[in-house]
Chains A and B, each alone.
Chain A
Amino acid sequence: MFANCFVRLRAAFLSILLITCFALPALAGPFEDSVAKFANDEFSDTEEAIGEIAASGNQLAFPIISALQDGRLSADPETKKVFITQADSKIVDATTGAAVDKLPDNAATVRLNNRLRRTVEAALGGLTLMSPDPAKRLAAAQSVFKSHEESALPNVEAALAKETNKATRQAFAEARAAILLFKSDASDNDKLEAIAVIKARGDQEAMALLTSIGSDQPPLVAKAAAGAISSIQGNLAIWSGVQNAWYGLSLGSVLLLAAIGLAITFGVMGVINMAHGEMVMLGAYTTFVVQEVIRTRYPALFDYSLLIAVPLAFLVAGGIGVLIERSIIRFLYGRPLETLLATWGLSLVLQQAVRTAFGPTNREVGNPSWMSGAFELGQITITYNRLWILCFTMAVFAILLAMLRYSAIGLEMRAVTQNRRMAASMGIATSRVDALTFGLGSGIAGIAGVALSQIDNVSPNLGQSYIIDSFMVVVFGGVGNLWGTLVGAFTLGIANKFLEPVAGAVLGKIAILVLIILFIQKRPRGLFALKGRAVEA
Chain B
Amino acid sequence: MLSKLTHEIATVTRRRWMAATAGLVLGLAVSAPFAPAQAADDTIKVGVLHSLSGTMAISETTLKDTILFLIDEQNKKGGVNGKKLEAVVVDPASNWPLFAEKARELITKDKVAVVFGCWTSVSRKSVLPVFKELNSILFYPVQYEGEESERNVFYTGAAPNQQAIPAVDYLMKDEKVKRWVLAGTDYVYPRTTNKILEAYLKSKGVKQEDIMINYTPFGHSDWQTIVADIKKFGSAGKKTAVVSTINGDANVPFYKELGNQGIKATDIPVVAFSVGEEELAGIDTKPLVGHLAAWNYFQSIKTPANEKFIKDWQAYTKNPKRVTNDPMEAHVIGFNMWVKAVEKVKSTDADKVIDALPGIEAPNLTGGMSKMLPNHHITKPVFIGEIKGNGQFDVVWKTPGLVAGDAWSKELEGSKDLIGDWVGKKCGNWNTKTNKCGGQGS
Contacts and interface: CB of A to CB of B under 8 A. Distances in A.
A117 B290 contact: yes
17 contacts: A8-B176, A114-B175, A114-B290, A336-B5, A338-B16, A341-B23, A345-B22, A360-B61, A361-B281, A362-B249, A374-B261, A456-B221, A457-B252, A457-B282, A464-B55, A505-B225, A524-B3
Contacts of A366: 284
Contacts of A347: 27
B9 A337 contact: yes
A4 B281 contact: no
Residue of B19, B224, B259, B267 contacting most chain A CB atoms (<10 Å): B224
Contacts, number: 224
B237 A459 contact: no
A218 interface: no
Interface in A410-469: 455-461, 464-465
A98 to B, nearest CB: 28
Contacts of B58: 360-362, 459, 461
A71 B389 contact: yes
A5 B229 CA distance: 19
Q: Which 10 A-B pairs have the closest CB atoms?
A: A362-B282, A345-B23, A348-B27, A212-B237, A338-B20, A342-B23, A345-B24, A345-B27, A383-B260, A204-B235
Interface stretch (B161-169, B197-205, B212-220, B422-430): B212-220
A500 to B, nearest CB: 5
Interface residues of B, number: 82
B23 A344 contact: yes
A509 B396 CA distance: 39
B236 A208 contact: yes
B40 interface: no
Contacts of A211: 236-237
Interface string A49-83: 00000000000000000000001000000000000
Nearest to B216: A505
Given A207-B235, A362-B282, 7 more contacts: A2-B268, A5-B266, A113-B290, A118-B266, A272-B5, A356-B33, A361-B278
A384 B389 CA distance: 22
A117 B396 CA distance: 13
A86 interface: no
Nearest to B175: A114
Interface residues of A, number: 88
Given A204-B232, A374-B262, A505-B216, A460 B23 contact: no
B252 A2 contact: no
B174 interface: yes
A5 B239 CA distance: 6
Contact of A506 (B31, B55, B216, B268): B216
Main secondary structure of the interface of A (DSSP, over half): helix
Given A114-B269, A362-B282, A383-B261, A505 B226 contact: yes
Contact of A343 (B19, B23, B252): B23
B385 to A, nearest CB: 10
B9 to A, nearest CB: 6
A218 to B, nearest CB: 20
B222 interface: yes
A364 B267 contact: no
Interface stretch (A219-227, A246-254, A307-315): A246-254
Contact of B215 (A114, A208, A455, A506): A506
B100 interface: no
B284 A353 contact: no
A458 B283 CA distance: 9
